[in-house]
């Protein structure tokens, strides 16, 4: 339920309203904008009678929210959320953030080389995998802790915050200590136990869309994290499974537009996993920016042919550099800036 008050409602009146709602056993957040005050109520609102609420002359409107997501709902938080990712801000209408790096960290030297390469191209976050969710148990599973520590060295050398995928709760202390942004991969988007656990973490969470999940299921997974107290969630569209087989997945750009209506959370796009072909990545990245994405995640490898994971979809640092030259102009065209 959303309750909005009239312009100029005195602070004491707002406090009284919060107090009354809380006394009914509901959770309430007050969001104050320049011209509005909106109360978002979470809990069993069936016991609230709209007529009683509207009897208060300061109250303008009461809306029952039919969507099952509340904290993530745009109605509860009309302004875009801007998430601080180790100093780099993601979200809002003004800036685009680009994170890039190899699918898997393979060595300290490789991590450093790629981090320097993507930084030179204009990335502001370094993304790499140390725990890899591979389809086959015989494929490279990642360097694990050693890979995280290699990324830490790359952060020390470049100043870029680091983003890496967490697959199990037992690694949470390691990620709290070393990682700036915790990625939850597509395969774990509905691992509700893991979502609840990262909801208690003190790091922003980059939540990727599940292989075959609806937008509502996607936002509900963000809601799981937010319900535990961690409101710093960034959504990532990475393609969904359809009947099309010529690409790894089908990039749902319309979903990016819809997500921005459904939720105030930032939405970034990963064109690399969406298509699986390096040659397609630049066009899709450009289209994502045009569709209003708040950022991009791009896989970059210094030697894609020898990559231990996802080489076919990885750009070289030079290709990344060329793409970023275009993205910068595009971002400017849309009146935004690179972050
Ligand atoms: C990844 O980002 O490296 C990854 C495994 O992606 P996804 O979870 O989207 O498949
Ligand atoms: Mn990958």
CA of 104 relative to ligand 2 center, distance in Å: 7
| Ligand 1 site-directed mutation target among 238, 240, 248, most atoms within 8 Å of CB | 238
What is the whole-number distance in angstroms between the Cα of residue 288 and the centre of ligand 2? 18
CB 91 within 8 A of CB 116: no
pLDDT of residue 113: 98
Q: Whose CA is nearest to atom 9 of ligand 1?
A: 186
Rounded CA gap, 16 and 2, in Å? 16
* Separation of CA 131 and ligand 1 centre (Å): 11
Cα(304) to centroid of ligand 2, in Å?
12
Q: Which residues surround ligand 2, an ion (CB under 5 A)?
A: 103, 310
Cα–Cα dist 150/321, whole Å: 23
Beta pairing, strands 88-90 & 83-85: antiparallel
**Global pTM value:** 0.95
186 lines ligand 1 (CB under 6 A): yes
CA of 134, nearest ligand number: 1
Q: What is the pLDDT of residues 58-69, one digit of tens each?
A: 999 999 998 999
List, run by run, the mean pLDDT of 10-residue segments along the chain (339 residues). Answer: 91 92 90 84 89 93 92 94 98 96 98 98 98 96 98 98 98 98 98 98 98 98 97 98 98 98 98 98 98 98 97 98 98 96
Residue 245's CB is within 10 A of a number of other CB atoms, namely 7
- Ligand 1, atom 3: nearest CA belongs to which residue? 103
Measured in angstroms, how far is the CA atom of residue 310 from the centroid of ligand 2? 5
Which tokens hold the place of 221? 């997974």
């Amino acid at each position: 339920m959303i309750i909005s008050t009239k312009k100029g409602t005195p602070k004491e009146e707002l406090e009284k309203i919060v107090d009354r709602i809380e006394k009914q056993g509901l959770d309430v957040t007050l969001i104050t904008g320049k011209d509005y005050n909106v109360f978002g109520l979470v809990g069993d609102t069936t016991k609230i009678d709209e007529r009683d609420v509207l009897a208060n002359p300061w109250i303008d409107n009461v809306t029952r929210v039919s969507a099952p997501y509340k904290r993530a709902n745009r109605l509860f938080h009309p302004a875009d959320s801007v998430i601080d990712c180790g100093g780099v801000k993601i979200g809002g209408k003004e800036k685009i953030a680009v994170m890039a790096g190899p699918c898997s960290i393979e060595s300290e030297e490789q991590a450093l080389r790629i981090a320097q390469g993507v930084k030179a191209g204009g990335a502001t976050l370094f993304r790499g995998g140390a725990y890899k969710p591979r389809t086959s148990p015989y494929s490279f599973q990642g360097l694990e802790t050693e890979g995280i520590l290699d990324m830490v060295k790359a952060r020390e050398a470049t100043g870029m915050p680091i983003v890496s995928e967490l697959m199990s709760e037992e690694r949470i202390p390691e990620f709290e200590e070393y990682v700036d942004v915790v990625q939850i991969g597509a395969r774990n988007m509905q691992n509700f136990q893991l979502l609840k656990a990262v909801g208690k973490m003190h790091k922003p969470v980059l939540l990727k869309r599940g292989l075959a999940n609806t937008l509502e299921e996607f936002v509900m997974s963000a809601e799981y994290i937010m319900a535990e107290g961690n409101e710093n969630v960034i959504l990532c569209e990475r393609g969904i499974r359809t009947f099309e087989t010529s690409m790894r997945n089908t990039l749902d750009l319309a979903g990016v537009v819809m997500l921005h209506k459904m939720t105030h959370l930032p939405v970034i796009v990963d064109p690399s996993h969406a298509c699986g072909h390096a040659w397609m990545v630049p066009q899709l990245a450009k289209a994502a920016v045009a569709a209003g994405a708040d950022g991009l995640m791009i896989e970059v490898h210094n030697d894609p042919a020898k990559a231990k994971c996802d080489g076919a979809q990885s750009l070289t640092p030079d290709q990344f550099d060329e793409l970023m030259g275009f993205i910068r102009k595009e971002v400017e065209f849309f009146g935004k800036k690179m972050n």
